[in-house]
Homo-oligomer: A and B are copies of this chain.
Amino acid sequence: MTRTLTLSFSCPDTTGIVAEVSTFIAQHKGWITEANQHSENELSQFFMRVEIKADSLDFPPEEFNVRFQPIAQKFKMDAKVSDSAKAKRVIILCSKQEHCLYDLLARYVAQDFAFVIPCVISNHENHRKIVEAHGLAFHYVPVTPENKNAAYRKMEEIFRKENADLIVLARYMQVLDDALCRNFAGKILNIHHSFLPSFAGAKPYHQAHGKGVKLIGATCHFVTPELDEGPIVEQDVIRVDHSESAEDMAHLGKDIEKIVLARGLRAVVEDRVLIAGTKTVVFR
């Protein structure tokens, strides 16, 4: 694997941004392997992502951020530089269901994309063995109506201690509190088992079954204090028909839940997802 730097930013839209950014990179011999840009008309915002071979630059990769500052400031960019040499740290939260957890563990083992799992946190004990068989730490943090606040503060402490870049709710069946949502804004990904905005809230497969829809969906979105309302990162659907009960749908739906969550996570880990107000820009 070649070491790469990924520059991603958004800023007020104007002419000359690409020219300045690409000229800066070219002047320093940077080899661009991938580049994407998008102008969001309604927000008058410009979004860009560039991937550069780290060793093509005529300065140490660690200096990129500092050297890029004059351009970032000139265009009032909200900019970020990621170094492939530092894999993203992704904490997984799960409950009793296994499909998303197993799917993420398999991707971690294969390093399908570059991430490490500092630990897995669950409000149930049932997945301890499988997690520990991978040499990963497992934290059992039960959540009850009474201990909710203490439990979330405990989790927050783990997030900080482990320097988490991202937290993934892999069918985690508790609603995070406002403090967690705010303190880790843009860093918590959830998978909802419906094609949002349809069937937000509880028991979406039962809602879908009751309505008689012919497709069921899953939605990966950032978590915000408003339940199931955060910016959507990825969605997909599968076909169902009259013969499927709500329980059948819940079984079938697992396949898109795990795939949609993994695709969303990969995009975020690779800095392909930029938040644009209540929506997202996702560069392929």
Contact = CB atoms under 8 A, between A and B. Distances in A.
Interface in A187-204: 195-198
Contacts of A73: none
Interface residues of A, number: 74
Interface string A99-141: 1011101110110110000000000000001100110000000
A171 to B, nearest CB: 11
Contacts of A99: 106-107, 110
Contact of A197 (B25, B211, B236): B211
A160 interface: no
B41 A29 contact: no
Interface in A28-78: 29-41, 56
A148 B27 CA distance: 58
Contact of A32 (B15, B32, B41, B251): B15
Contact of A26 (B16, B33, B40, B112): B16
B40 A15 contact: no
Contact of A106 (B30, B35, B103, B196): B103
Interface of A: 15-16, 18-20, 22-23, 25-27, 29-41, 56, 97-99, 101-103, 105-107, 109-110, 112-113, 129-130, 133-134, 195-198, 211-215, 217, 231-237, 241-243, 245, 251, 254-255, 259, 262, 276, 278-282, 284
Given A38-B242, A103-B103, A213-B232, 17 more contacts: A18-B22, A18-B32, A19-B22, A19-B27, A23-B23, A32-B37, A38-B243, A98-B109, A102-B109, A195-B198, A196-B211, A211-B279, A212-B231, A212-B232, A215-B217, A241-B284, A242-B280
